[in-house]
């Protein structure tokens, strides 16, 4: 039997990711055109990773559990 996943808002996921990345001195940000996501090192003010998928990053840092999905 297939279980329905719990929807989580994009804002909540972004905040969860930023709390997790803050421990490493990093921040998850969205580009001005709104299409791309990137990770910034706040200590050096440099881009660490660009073209990131919010879902992949959220799952990697543990901000999005297997039973949750990003609300569309």
Averaged pLDDT, 28-41: 92
Q: Which residues contact 29 (CB under 8 A, 6 or more apart)?
A: 37, 38, 39, 40
Query: 70, 57 in Cβ contact below 8 A?
Result: no
Checking if the pLDDT of 33 tops 90, the result is no
pTM of the full structure? 0.88
**How far, in whole angstroms, is CA 7 from its chain's centroid?**
15
Counting residues of the chain whose pLDDT is more than 70, the rounded percentage is: 97
Q: What is the C-alpha to C-alpha distance for residues 34 and 36, in angstroms, rounded to an integer?
A: 6
């Amino acid at each position: 039997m297939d279980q329905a996943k719990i929807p989580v808002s994009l804002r909540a996921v972004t905040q969860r990711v930023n709390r997790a990345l803050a421990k490493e001195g990093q921040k998850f940000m969205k580009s001005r055109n709104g299409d791309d996501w990137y990770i910034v090192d706040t200590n050096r003010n440099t881009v660490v990773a660009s073209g990131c998928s919010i879902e992949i990053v959220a799952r990697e840092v543990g901000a999005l559990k297997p039973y949750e999905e990003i609300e569309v």
